[in-house]
Amino acid sequence: MFERIDHVGIAVSELDPALALYHDQFDCELVHRELLDGGAMEAALVRAGDGCLEFVAPLHDDTALARFLARRGQAVHHVAYEVDDIDAAIATLREHDVKMIDEVPRAGIHGSRVAFVHPQSCMGVLTEIVEPAH
């Protein structure tokens, strides 16, 4: 089902310092930056070798991402896997009794379609499935 790791998501308080750190210390280049979830968060993809890191920062204090940061601080937030057909992947996961946060895909970064699998179904890891824009 999973084609490859699409990205690792890292929750940060602010994007600019994280982007500067990864650019200056690790030579990671910015690929894309945009607002997500109706302006509730800002996200940026940076190239890290053959893969990407996605930095996500809340823009409001009343979001799940803001609560995550309050509990855990800046840290790995999720692991995202690429799938060819997100609707089929969600259906297969549900057939296997996998608990989903998203029963239908939502808009993701850079034109992708995404859905999150509940951490209870993935050994405590928030897991995202991603159908890239084509």
pLDDT in tens, 21-48: 999 999 999 999 999 988 999 999 999 9
Categorize the per-residue pLDDT at 1 as very low, low, confident or very high, splitting at 50, 70 and 90. Answer: confident
Q: How far is the C-alpha of 40 from the C-alpha of 11, rounded, in Å? A: 13
As a whole-number percent, the residues of the chain with pLDDT over 90 amount to 94
- 27 contact partners, CB below 8 Å, separation of at least 6: none
Sequence-ordered alpha helix ranges (H) in 12-118: 15-26, 64-72, 86-95
Residue 115 is which amino acid? A
Instruction: Supply 80's token pair.
Output: 């995202």
CA dihedral 131, 72, 38, 106 (to 10 degrees): 20
Q: How far is the C-alpha of 69 from the C-alpha of 53, rounded, in Å? A: 17
Categorize the per-residue pLDDT at 126 as very low, low, confident or very high, splitting at 50, 70 and 90. Answer: very high
Quote the number of domains for the chain.
Answer: 1
CATH code for the domain in which residue 123 is found:
3.10.180.10
Residue numbers of the domain that contains 111: 4-131
pTM to 2 decimal places: 0.93
